[in-house]
Each structure stands twice: as C-alpha cells, then as structure tokens.
C-alpha cells in the first residue's frame, strides 16, 4: 500500500478520467496504486497480462483495473478497459508524488545570461547556467546544476532534471523530459587519419529534438557533422543510450537501455529497439521494425517485422561446442554443395570444386 499518498480518489472519479467501465461501489475511495500481489485494502491494482490472472483470487486490493473479459474472475470492485496497460499508464499519474521543483522563478545561485528569452512560469534551479541567446518556452523547468549552452531552444512545458548538459544550438520541442546526466549536442566521433595520426573533424551540425520526447539518464546524443542529428516526435529513449552524429530517428519509436546507433543511420517511424541493440553506421531502417535485445544490425532493413541476431544463453560446455561448430560452417556448406552436385550426377564439377 502507498502510505505516503497525499490524495484519495473515488472509483467513479478514476473511471470517468480513464473512460473506464465501473462494476461496484463508485464512492469507494482508493489512495494508492500497486500490483496485484502487493496491493493493500486501500489500493487499486491492475491486470494487463494473463499470466497474473492467478493472483486475482488472493489480492487484497480494493479495486482492479482489467479487461472486461476478466471481470467475472474478480470479486472486488472493477474498472474495465479494452487496454488495461494503457489505463495503468494514465492511472499512474494520479499517484505520482515525485517533486519536480516547478515553483516558478530563478534561483539566486543560477547564472542566466541577460540575453536569454524566458517565457511565463519558468523555473530555473540552483546552480544552473543558461548561456547567451537561449529561448525558454512557457512552463519550462530547468533543474539544479543544468548547463544550457548558447543559442539553445527549449519548448513549452519541457523538463530538464538535475545536471543535464545541452551544448550550443540544441533545439528541444514541447513537453520533453530529459533525465539527469544526459548530454545532448556533444561532438560526434569524427576523425581523419593521415597514416600516422588522427585529425579532428569539426562537428558543425546541431541536434533537433521533437515534441513529447523523453531521454533517459546518462544518454548521449551527438551533434551532426554537417546536417543535424534529428529525434522525431514522441520518441522514447532509455538510459545509457548512444546516438551518434547525423542519426535520424522517426516519430513514435522507442529505444531501450544501452542501445548504440552509429553515425548517419536513419531509423524509421514506430520502430522498437531492444536493450543493447547495436546499429552499424549509414543504414536505413524502414518504418515498423522491431529489433530484439542484444542484436547487431549491420545491413539496412527494408521490410517491416521483427529481427534478431546472436544466440541465447546456454550451458557453457554446450556453448563452447557450438562456438567450434560456427567456425566449421563454411567448410560444411562447401561439402554440402559437393554432395548435392554428386547427387545430381555432376561428378566432374564436384571433383573440381
């Protein structure tokens, strides 16, 4: 049970806000949100995965949000939705108590250049540094210790948590959330070699981030070498992701933790990249592609669908045997070709293979 909850809601209030059906007492109040197994008598729980149906009979929750087809299995108050997981996402905000330091004003320890354009109700936290010619839209929140370089633009209602760094000329759209430690607009990895040493290539592009984007903690998005690195609208990026120079990511895509995307690769709309996925440089990934975790993509993908590479875990002894066999695959393929030719009676070609 969430004993720290500051607000309680009636089930009728929650059902109305979610557009959900209600079975039971609409005046019953709840003060927390929890899983079926952890819920207490004043919590609302949710069921979005059939695997957890077995816990409906033992949950202590006051009410459960679930699909209408499961309502008959539930003896307590019920909220019904066709997509209960989406309902849970909306419901979570009713019980979110995280402070975001949104009191408007500029902390006395912040350093704000006199040329900065500041919208209405902007909050700039302790120790933040805002460079020249920056534009901050209405209701923007800049957390403690953030560094916003010259000529950046941050759209209305965007939030930078503590210690976010924006290099110069970064453009961020409306309602973005950037988590602590993220670095946006740093130099891309560009060097030329003369045979004996490396020579740095100036990265003179920028970074443009659309509306409703979320960037996880300690993620790096490099500026473009010539053109911009572009993150589309409603893109969700997890923590510790590396996005190299001139990468483009289409609207509504999502990248899980530790994804790495090399330079100049374009990822389409509605793409999903699992944890640890690596994309080589200069690739084109079409719309509607899902790449499962820890996969390495070295060629462009032109057909929507689910793609995987690598092998799943197995006992080490079996893995070592298979690793040896991987090295033998080319030889085995040649032997199979010879056998196929012999089977067709093409003995001369088979002998000359």
Please say whether the beta carbons of 243 and 264 come within 8 A.
no
| Residues contacting 234, CB < 8 A, separation 6+ | 210, 211, 212, 213, 251, 252
Is 93 an annotated catalytic residue? Answer: no
What is the rounded distance in angstroms from the CA atom of residue 36 to the CA atom of residue 58?
A: 8
Whose structure tokens read 């984007």? 213
Please say whether the beta carbons of 343 and 352 come within 8 A.
no
What is the rounded distance in angstroms from the CA atom of residue 129 to the CA atom of residue 208?
A: 21
Longest Cα–Cα distance of the chain, Å, equals: 89
DSSP per residue over 79-94, as a string? EE-SSHHHHHHHHHGG
In the 8-state DSSP scheme, what is residue 223?
P
Please say whether the beta carbons of 260 and 223 come within 8 A.
no
Please say whether the beta carbons of 204 and 228 come within 8 A.
no
The answer for 244, left when phi > 0, alpha when psi is -120 to 50, beta otherwise, is beta
CA dihedral over 286, 242, 245, 216, signed as positive or negative: positive
Whose structure tokens read 């003369």? 194
- Given 77, 161, 179, 245, which residue is catalytic? 245
Entry field: residues in the chain: 353
Tokens of 222: 């490099």
| Active centre residues (catalytic) | 245
């Amino acid at each position: 049970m969430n004993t720290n909850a500051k607000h309680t809601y009636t089930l009728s209030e929650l059902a109305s806000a979610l557009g959900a059906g209600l079975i039971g007492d609409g005046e019953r109040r709840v003060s927390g949100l929890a899983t079926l197994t952890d819920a207490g008598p004043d919590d609302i729980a949710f069921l979005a995965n059939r695997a957890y149906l077995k816990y409906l009979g033992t949950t202590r929750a006051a009410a459960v949000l679930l699909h209408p087809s499961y309502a008959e299995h539930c003896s307590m108050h019920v909220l019904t939705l066709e997509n209960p997981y989406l309902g849970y996402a909306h419901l979570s905000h009713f019980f979110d108590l995280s402070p975001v330091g949104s009191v408007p004003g500029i902390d006395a320890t912040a350093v704000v250049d006199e040329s900065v354009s500041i919208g209405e109700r902007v909050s700039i936290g302790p120790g933040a540094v805002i460079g020249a010619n920056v534009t901050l839209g209405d209701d923007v929140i800049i957390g403690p210790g953030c560094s916003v370089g010259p000529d950046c633009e941050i759209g209305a209602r965007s939030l930078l948590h503590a210690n976010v760094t924006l290099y110069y000329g970064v453009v961020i759209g409306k309602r973005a959330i950037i988590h602590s430690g993220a670095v946006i607009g740093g130099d891309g990895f560009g060097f030329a070699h003369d045979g004996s040493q490396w020579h740095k290539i100036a990265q003179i592009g920028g970074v443009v981030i659309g509306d409703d984007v979320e960037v996880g903690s300690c993620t790096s998005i490099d500026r473009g070498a010539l053109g911009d690195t572009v993150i589309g609208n409603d893109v969700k990026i997890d923590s510790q992701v590396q996005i190299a120079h001139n990468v483009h990511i289409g609207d509504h895509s999502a990248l899980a933790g530790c994804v790495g995307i090399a330079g100049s690769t374009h990822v389409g709309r509605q793409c999903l990249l699992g944890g640890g996925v690596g994309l080589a440089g200069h690739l084109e990934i079409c719309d509607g592609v899902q790449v499962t975790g820890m996969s390495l993509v070295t060629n462009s993908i032109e057909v929507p669908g689910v793609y995987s590479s690598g092998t799943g875990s197995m006992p080490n002894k079996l893995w070592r045997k298979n690793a040896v066999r991987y090295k033998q695959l080319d030889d085995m393929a040649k032997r199979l070709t010879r056998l196929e030719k012999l089977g067709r009676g093409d003995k001369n070609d088979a002998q000359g293979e």
